[in-house]
């Protein structure tokens, strides 16, 4: 058995976690999912995975989930930038202290690898829509980014002391099927949902802010590709930039020709330009994102259409 054969996926009932769990099972690994189902769905946990219903801040639940585990992929988090201002305590409690609880609970004699999902929100704003590398200034604009950066630092220090290899993966704006609709997270899912309801998409600010939209399939490939192979910190994105105005036009043309977005004032905490330089991940473990907005938007559209109307 490989050293990464029995894997705990925290947040494995969620959007990215359920995709990662399915891919791990398909690769022949044994998978345990720990999720409190606050955003995840029990039916998203793939058949064949052991499921532990619990919170990452609960030491008993974490201890149960770590039984016979040799690797951890830590994806569970409160994922909202704007919402982290209103709920900064809960956000930090989950994303920082929840991570610390997992780190203190692992047995370094058993756990051979730790993968931490971080975020582009750890970076300072960029003055232009150019790809930024992992050594770009880390100066978060939101409590969410602060918590993610602190979680990275805790993992680096404590896992190095324990002798457990660590991979930190900074995800950029991930899209694809299976993302739950909320007003705060996942602009593509939000825009698609509103257009299918005959509502205008809402853009905060002038819409010329640039984002790196990366398909969940490419994120999953990066998570599995790095597992057991590359320690360090790596961006996972597409390496391409798209403005929110361009995204809105693309979706309006597909779903509601002639529709126009509504604009509201810009919100605190959101980066103006956020585009990934993925050269380090390419060199370290062959990361090669291949999906694009133009060819994979139907993944999201069909997924949203298939959901029960509310």
Q: Going by C-beta distance under 8 Å and a sequence separation of 6 or more, which residues neighbour residue 308?
A: none
Q: Going by C-beta distance under 8 Å and a sequence separation of 6 or more, which residues neighbour residue 44?
A: 13, 14, 18, 178
Average pLDDT, integer, range 41-47: 95
Q: Which of 182, 185, 197, 189 is nearest to 303 (CA)?
A: 189
Rounded to an integer, what distance in angstroms lies between the CA atom of residue 1 and that of residue 270? 44
More confident position, 274 or 310: 274
Domains 6-175+214-240+275-290 and 187-209+241-274+297-306 share a fold: no
Average pLDDT, integer, range 283-304: 94
Average pLDDT, the chain: 93
* Active site residue ranges: 144
CATH of 187-209+241-274+297-306, one of 3.10.129.10, 3.30.360.10, 3.20.20.70, 3.90.25.10: 3.90.25.10
* Structural element, H or E, at residue 238: none
Q: Which strands sit side by side in the sheet containing 166-171, from one edge to the other?
A: 50-53, 30-35, 6-10, 71-74, 113-119, 166-171, 232-236
Give domain limits for the chain.
6-175+214-240+275-290, 187-209+241-274+297-306
Q: Say yes or no to pLDDT of 1 above 50.
A: no
Q: Which residue has the tokens 């955003």?
A: 39
Instruction: Return the pLDDT at 88.
Output: 86
* 2 confidence band (pLDDT: 50, 70, 90): low
- Classify the C-alpha dihedral 209-122-169-183 as positive or negative: negative
Rounded to an integer, what distance in angstroms lies between the CA atom of residue 306 and that of residue 216? 18
Rounded to an integer, what distance in angstroms lies between the CA atom of residue 300 and that of residue 292? 12
Instruction: Return the pLDDT at 146.
Output: 94
* 301 confidence band (pLDDT: 50, 70, 90): very high
Instruction: Return the pLDDT at 270.
Output: 84
Q: Which of 305, 75, 286, 272 is nearest to 174 (CA)?
A: 75
* 256 confidence band (pLDDT: 50, 70, 90): confident
Q: Which of 10, 79, 16, 15 is nearest to 49 (CA)?
A: 10
Tell me whether residue 124 is exposed, middle or buried, using C-beta atoms within 10 angstroms of its C-beta: 0 to 12, 13 to 18, 19 or more.
Answer: middle
Average pLDDT, integer, range 52-67: 98
Q: Which residue has the tokens 């150019």?
A: 130
CATH architecture assignment, domain 6-175+214-240+275-290 = 3-Layer(aba) Sandwich (3.40)
């Amino acid at each position: 058995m490989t050293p990464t054969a029995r894997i705990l996926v925290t947040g494995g009932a969620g959007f990215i976690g359920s995709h990662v769990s399915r891919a791990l099972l398909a690769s022949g690994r044994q998978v345990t999912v720990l999720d409190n189902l606050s955003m995840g769905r029990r039916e998203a946990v793939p058949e064949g995975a052991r499921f532990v219903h619990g919170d990452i801040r609960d030491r008993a639940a974490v201890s149960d989930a770590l039984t016979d585990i040799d690797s951890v992929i830590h994806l569970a988090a409160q994922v909202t930038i704007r919402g982290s201002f209103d709920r900064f305590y809960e956000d930090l409690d989950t994303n920082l202290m929840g991570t610390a609880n997992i780190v203190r609970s692992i047995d370094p004699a058993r756990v051979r690898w730790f993968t931490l999902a971080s975020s582009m929100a750890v970076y300072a704003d960029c003055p232009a829509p150019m790809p930024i590398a992992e050594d770009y200034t880390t100066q978060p604009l939101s409590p969410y980014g602060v918590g993610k950066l602190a979680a990275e630092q805790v993992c680096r220090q404590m896992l190095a002391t324990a002798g457990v290899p660590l991979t930190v993966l900074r995800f950029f704006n991930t899209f694809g099927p299976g993302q739950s609709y909320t007003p705060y997270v996942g602009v593509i899912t939000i825009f698609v949902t509103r257009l299918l309801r005959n509502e205008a998409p809402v853009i905060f600010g002038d819409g010329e802010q640039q984002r790196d939209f990366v398909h969940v399939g490419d994120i999953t490939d990066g998570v599995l590709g790095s597992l057991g192979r590359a320690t360090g910190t790596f961006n996972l994105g597409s390496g391409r930039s798209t403005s929110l105005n361009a995204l809105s036009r693309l979706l309006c043309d597909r779903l509601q020709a002639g529709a126009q977005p509504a604009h509201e004032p810009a919100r605190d905490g959101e980066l103006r330009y956020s585009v990934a330089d993925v050269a380090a991940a390419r060199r370290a473990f062959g990361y090669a994102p291949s999906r694009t907005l133009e060819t994979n938007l139907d993944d999201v559209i069909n997924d949203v259409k298939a959901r029960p109307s509310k």
